[in-house]
Amino acid sequence: VIAVIREENARLSAQMAEITRLARLEASLNADPNAVVYVGSDMERLLDKTEKNLESKMKLQTLLSVVALYAAIGVAVPLLYESSEARRNNIRS
């Protein structure tokens, strides 16, 4: 009998937690749109995952931009040096 009561108590506690979560969610939906919004644990995990994904993509984009910039500088400097050498040789001739 005690085991059944404990199981029932655990089940009721889980249902109360879900009802509380839904009540907070509904209250946030009915609240002022400029107010703070309640975010559940599922949404928090989803937002955290999205944030990490965006952060990773931004780091990759920055890395690619830096590599492209250095490659452009690496190609441009020798070309500019060669053209300035050619001009010097033409002036001396």
Q: Please state the domain extents for the chain.
A: 1-38, 44-93
pLDDT surpassing 80 at residue 29 = no
Lowest mean pLDDT across 2-11, 35-44, 48-57, 70-79 = 35-44
pTM to 2 decimals?
A: 0.47
Does residue 38 surpass a pLDDT of 70?
no
For residue 47, give every residue at least 6 positions away whose Cβ sits within 8 Å of its Cβ, in sequence order, or none. Answer: 39
